[in-house]
Structure 1
Amino acid sequence: MVWMVRWLLVALGVAAIAVTVLALVPSNERWIRIWDFPRVQIGACLTGVLLLVPFIAFPRRRLKRAFAALLAAALAWQVFNIWNYTPLAAPQAEAAADCPANSRIDILIANVLVDNRESAPLLALVDDVDPDLILLVETDSWWDTQMKPLGDAYPHAILHPRENSYGMHLFSRFELIDPLVRYLIEESVPSIKTGLLLPSGARINLYGLHPKPPPLSDTEERDAELLVVGKEVSDETVPSIVAGDLNDVAWSQTNSLFQEISGLLDPRIGRGLYPTFVAMSPLLRWPLDHVFFEESFVLLELAVLDDIQSDHFPLFVALCHDPGAAATQRKPKAGPADRKAAEEAIEEGREAASD
Structure 2
Amino acid sequence: MEVTIIIATFILATVTLLPLWRNPHWVVRSMDFPRMQLAIAAALMILAQITFLNYSGYQAWLLLGVAIACLIWQLWWILPYTALWRVEVKPTTNPAPDRALRILTANVLTPNRQADVLVNLVNQHSPDILVTLESDQWWQDQLDKLETDMPYSIKCPLDNLYGMHVYSRLPLEDIETSFLVEQDIPSMHAQVRLRSGDVVRIHFLHPAPPSPSENPESAERDAELVIVAKSVTESDQPVVVTGDLNDVAWSSTTRLFRKLSGLLDPRVGRGMFNTFHAKYPCFRWPLDHLFHSEHFTVSSIKRLPYFGSDHFPLLTELSFNPVQKSNQDGLDTDEDEEDWAKSISKEEKVGAKDVPTPGE
Tell me which interval the TM-score lies in, with the shorter structure as reference length.
over 0.9
Q: Distance in 1 between matches of 2:5 and 2:89?
A: 41
2:170 pairs with 1:171 = no
2:100 pairs with 1:101 = no
Q: 1:129 to 1:7 in 2, by over 3 A?
A: farther
Q: What amino acid does structure 2 have at the position aligned with 1:325?
A: Q
Report what 1:263 is aligned to: 262
Q: Distance in 2 between matches of 1:332 and 1:14?
A: 32
- After superposition, the C-alpha distances for 1:90-136 in whole angstroms (9 at most, x for unaligned) are 11111114411110011000000011122121111111111000010
Q: Distance in 1 between matches of 2:7 and 2:338?
A: 41
Q: 1:66 to 1:272 in 2, by over 3 A?
A: same
Structure 2 residues not aligned, in runs of 5+ = 351-360
- After superposition, the C-alpha distances for 1:269-297 in whole angstroms (9 at most, x for unaligned) are 11121111011111110011000001010
1:134-145 equivalences under 5 Å are: 134-145=130-141
- After superposition, the C-alpha distances for 1:203-249 in whole angstroms (9 at most, x for unaligned) are 11110000011223211110110111111111223211000000001
Structure 1 residues not aligned, in runs of 5+ = none
Q: Distance in 1 between matches of 2:63 and 2:332?
A: 39
2:206 to 200, 210, 220: 210
Cα offset for 1:7?
Answer: 5.1
2:39 pairs with 1:43 = yes
Secondary structure of residue in 2 paired with 1:307: coil
Secondary structure of residue in 2 paired with 1:212: coil
Secondary structure of residue in 2 paired with 1:147: helix
Secondary structure of residue in 1 paired with 2:111: coil
1:1-355 equivalences under 5 Å are: 3=1, 8-57=4-53, 61-215=57-211, 216-217=214-215, 218-350=217-349
Q: Distance in 1 between matches of 2:304 and 2:349?
A: 35
Q: Distance in 2 between matches of 1:192 and 1:21?
A: 36
Cα offset for 1:192?
Answer: 0.5
Q: Distance in 2 between matches of 1:168 and 1:229?
A: 17
Q: Distance in 2 between matches of 1:57 and 1:265?
A: 45
Q: Distance in 1 between matches of 2:51 and 2:314?
A: 43
Q: Distance in 1 between matches of 2:62 and 2:291?
A: 42
Q: Distance in 1 between matches of 2:331 and 2:18?
A: 28
Q: Is the 8 A contact 2:259 2:331 kept in 1?
A: yes
TM-score (norm 1): 0.94
Q: Is the 8 A contact 1:195 1:206 kept in 2?
A: yes
Q: Is the 8 A contact 2:9 2:66 kept in 1?
A: no
Cα offset for 1:328?
Answer: 1.6
Q: Is the 8 A contact 2:46 2:64 kept in 1?
A: yes
Q: Distance in 1 between matches of 2:104 and 2:62?
A: 48
Cα offset for 1:331?
Answer: 3.8
Q: Distance in 1 between matches of 2:163 and 2:121?
A: 20
Q: What amino acid does structure 2 have at the position aligned with 1:133?
A: I
Q: What count of residue pairs does the alignment treat as equivalent?
A: 347
Cα offset for 1:50?
Answer: 0.6
Cα offset for 1:335?
Answer: 4.0
Q: Is the 8 A contact 2:55 2:61 kept in 1?
A: no
- When the two chains are superposed, the root-mean-square deviation of aligned CA atoms in Å is 1.7
- After superposition, the C-alpha distances for 1:283-321 in whole angstroms (9 at most, x for unaligned) are 110011000001010000011110011111100100000
TM-score (norm 2): 0.92
Q: Is the 8 A contact 1:13 1:45 kept in 2?
A: no
Q: Is the 8 A contact 2:106 2:133 kept in 1?
A: yes
- The share of aligned pairs that are identical, in percent, is 35
